Structure 1
Amino acid sequence: MRNETRIAFNGYLSHVAKLNGVPSAAVKFNVTPAIQQRLEAKIRESTDFLRKINLVGVTDQQGEALSLGTKGPGAGRTNTGAGNRRNPVSRTSLTKDSYTCVKTDFDTAFLYSEVDQWAAHPEFQTLLTAAITDQQALDRIMIGFNGTSAAPETNLATNPLLQDVNVGWLQKVRVSAPERVIDELVEGSGKVTIGEGGDYASLDSVVYDAVQLLDPWHRNRPDLVVLVSRNLMHSKLLKAVDKGAKSNEEENAASDIITRARLGGLPVIDAPFFPDGTVMITTLANLSIYYQTGSRRRHLKDEPEFDRIADYQSSNDAYVIEDLGLVALVENIEEAA
């Protein structure tokens, strides 16, 4: 580490310690709730997808989903003149998810050669913070779509998509609402096929059918979206892009086609790290990440034995589907042979 980098890094240590009211950030400390909230906001703002879902601080490590932004029908009429009492619809009638916030380590290391490049910039602290929060945001999305378990000790080599870090949204549907999952139509086939001779004529047909898995009052919601894997959209969008390129010479023609893409009449969400061969129908407001307030720990450390600095952080997190009646999942989708 160069001398100017050392000065910049020491300044960063002092700033973090001051914000959290601790003597030093170079020893493990509890991030204050106010700073935790600010850090969570930075993580959320670093990716477009996280900005569209819920990121919620909760007090209890375990509990029932808060049912944010979801509800069933509530309009009606009561003949109070006949002595009947008006009775507002309770959210307890929803098919609620439950949650358990489990400790998740978000540890990041930067080689001296990397931070040496930033030392000359006056925004050194901003660059370092952004690098840390950006990776945490991407990790959370990856876990949300691919997580199937919370192993006592994770293994990145055997679970490169962080499958063993926490239980994500898709796994929540598989376990807690299997009646809303289609993973095969011909028993024993282990797949859902699309195209000529397949289970469905097209991907649009898959979506139209899957919508019927939602509770009846959710099927025509204006905010329904389709999360779809990129491999499934590839042929559909490739044809549209090629057609657009021939008829429209504007540079943004292709991106406009992708932005306006729809399946089964619903807008398409291109979510990072979404599994291949998969479609999920829900609203973005139905997906949440809960973090336990007061649970974030941090330790900034100089590690000369590895020629690097390291940021050790942990947070108690849970991935929640607010209303299980507002989600449908189709997996193992393949082109018909």
Structure 2
Amino acid sequence: MRNDTRKLFNGFKQRIAQLNGIDNASEEFAVDPEVQQKLEKRTQQSSEFLNKIGFEFVDAQEGEKVGVGVSGTTASTTDTTTKEREAADISDLSKYGYRCEQTNYDTSIRYAKLDAWRHKKNFQTILRDALIRQKALDRIMIGLNGTSRAATSNRTANPLLQDVNKGWLQKYREDAPERVMNEGTKTPGKILLDSSGSGDYKNVDALVYDAVETLIDPVYADSTDLVVLCGRGLLFDKYFPIVNDADKNSEKVAGQLLLATKSIGELPAYRIPYFPKGAMLITSFSNLAIYIQNGTARRHIIDNPKRDRIEDFQSANESFVIERYDAGCLLENIVYK
């Protein structure tokens, strides 16, 4: 690391120490709760997807879900001459609550990259945002691909962070299998889309229509907040033929408009990075959340000359939460013939 870069990096550590009311950020410290919430807000805002879902700070490591923005019905009538009016509890009282587990977000940045940033006036902001951006991407990856929590995770064997924590899709598989469709009646082990009529559905729109009708509670099935979350593959399979066959100018324009307003089964479709292939999650953004336990954030910033890099060790207890399982469904093993 160059001398002028080191001065900037030391200034970054001093600012971190000042914000958290400590003497030295090069020793492990508990992140100030107010600073933690600000950092988590920045992490959320760094991703369009994370910015749409819920971030909740909870005091207990485990407990009942908060369920902000997701509720059941409350309207009713009561003949008060015969009985008292009863208030409806709109929280999710299922046996499935949340449990926050420690997740480490440990990041390193090479000296050479820091040296390349040294001439920029906003050096500290660039360094902070680089650390935040990777944390946001990791959270999305865990939320969509996490299937378990190993005592010691293995990034080589699980490149999509499958063993760091249980994500939203896994929560559906384990806690609400009745709201998961992963095979068809004609093709065991997969849901076959075949326009000739020999598959389980002729197209992906029909699949989504059926899933909303049969797997989502009627209270939420007609919600205007429902969206389809999927990966690049399913959107490509649906929309590429439209563009590929649009030879006339009018058809090309129609294809471009369709691509600009993507939908599946009349629901808005969003492509999410790292989403598993051949799968879709139908729900509202407010039904997905990340819970973070207050007071569990820890941090340790190291200058490691043995590896020619700086290392930022961060951790906090967190949980990936489905607020209400009846307000969504998971579709998997979708293939086109």
TM-score band, normalised by the shorter chain? over 0.9
In the other structure, the counterpart of 1:18 is 18
Q: Give the secondary structure class of the aligned counterpart of 2:318.
A: strand
- From the superposition, tell whether residues 248 and 123 of structure 1 become closer, same or farther in structure 2 (CA, over 3 Å): farther
Quick one: which amino acid aligns to residue 221 of structure 1?
S
Q: Which runs of 5+ in 2 are unaligned?
A: none
CA–CA distance in structure 2, aligned partners of residues 273 and 96 of structure 1: 29
Q: Give the secondary structure class of the aligned counterpart of 1:301.
A: strand
CA–CA distance in structure 1, aligned partners of residues 323 and 222 of structure 2: 18
In the other structure, the counterpart of 1:141 is 140
Q: What is the deviation of 1:186? A: 3.3
Q: What is the deviation of 1:71? A: 1.5
Taking structure 1 as the reference length, the TM-score comes to 0.94
Q: What is the deviation of 1:96? A: 6.4
What are the superposed Cα offsets for residues 151-198 of structure 1, whole Å, 9 maximum, x if unpaired? 000001110000000000000000000000111123882111001311
What are the superposed Cα offsets for residues 47-92 of structure 1, whole Å, 9 maximum, x if unpaired? 1000100011111111121122111221121122x14211121125
In the other structure, the counterpart of 1:264 is 265
Taking structure 2 as the reference length, the TM-score comes to 0.94
In the other structure, the counterpart of 1:287 is 288
CA–CA distance in structure 1, aligned partners of residues 42 and 109 of structure 2: 19
1:237 aligns with 2:239: yes
Quick one: which amino acid aligns to residue 102 of structure 1?
E
1:36 aligns with 2:50: no
- From the superposition, tell whether residues 98 and 245 of structure 1 become closer, same or farther in structure 2 (CA, over 3 Å): farther
CA–CA distance in structure 1, aligned partners of residues 248 and 54 of structure 2: 40
**CA RMSD between the two structures:** 2.0
What are the superposed Cα offsets for residues 250-301 of structure 1, whole Å, 9 maximum, x if unpaired? 99x84x5334111111110111111000011110000000011111100111
CA–CA distance in structure 1, aligned partners of residues 304 and 285 of structure 2: 41
1:282–1:327 Cα contact (<8 Å) kept? yes
- How does 1:142-181 map onto structure 2 within 5 Å? 142-181=141-180
CA–CA distance in structure 2, aligned partners of residues 162 and 53 of structure 1: 20
- How does 1:202-221 map onto structure 2 within 5 Å? 202-211=203-212, 212-221=214-223
1:223 aligns with 2:225: yes
Q: Which runs of 5+ in 1 are unaligned?
A: none
Q: More deviation in 35-44 or 181-190?
A: 181-190
CA–CA distance in structure 2, aligned partners of residues 246 and 17 of structure 1: 63
CA–CA distance in structure 2, aligned partners of residues 249 and 6 of structure 1: 58
CA–CA distance in structure 2, aligned partners of residues 241 and 307 of structure 1: 49
CA–CA distance in structure 2, aligned partners of residues 29 and 41 of structure 1: 20
Quick one: which amino acid aligns to residue 63 of structure 1?
G
1:241–1:257 Cα contact (<8 Å) kept? no
CA–CA distance in structure 2, aligned partners of residues 249 and 202 of structure 1: 21
In the other structure, the counterpart of 1:66 is 66
Q: What is the deviation of 1:217? A: 1.0
In the other structure, the counterpart of 2:323 is 322
1:65–1:96 Cα contact (<8 Å) kept? no
Identity between Structure 1 and Structure 2 (%): 43
Q: Give the secondary structure class of the aligned counterpart of 1:167.
A: coil
Q: Give the secondary structure class of the aligned counterpart of 1:129.
A: helix
1:278–1:330 Cα contact (<8 Å) kept? yes
Quick one: which amino acid aligns to residue 166 of structure 2?
V
Q: Give the secondary structure class of the aligned counterpart of 1:55.
A: strand
CA–CA distance in structure 2, aligned partners of residues 334 and 239 of structure 1: 16
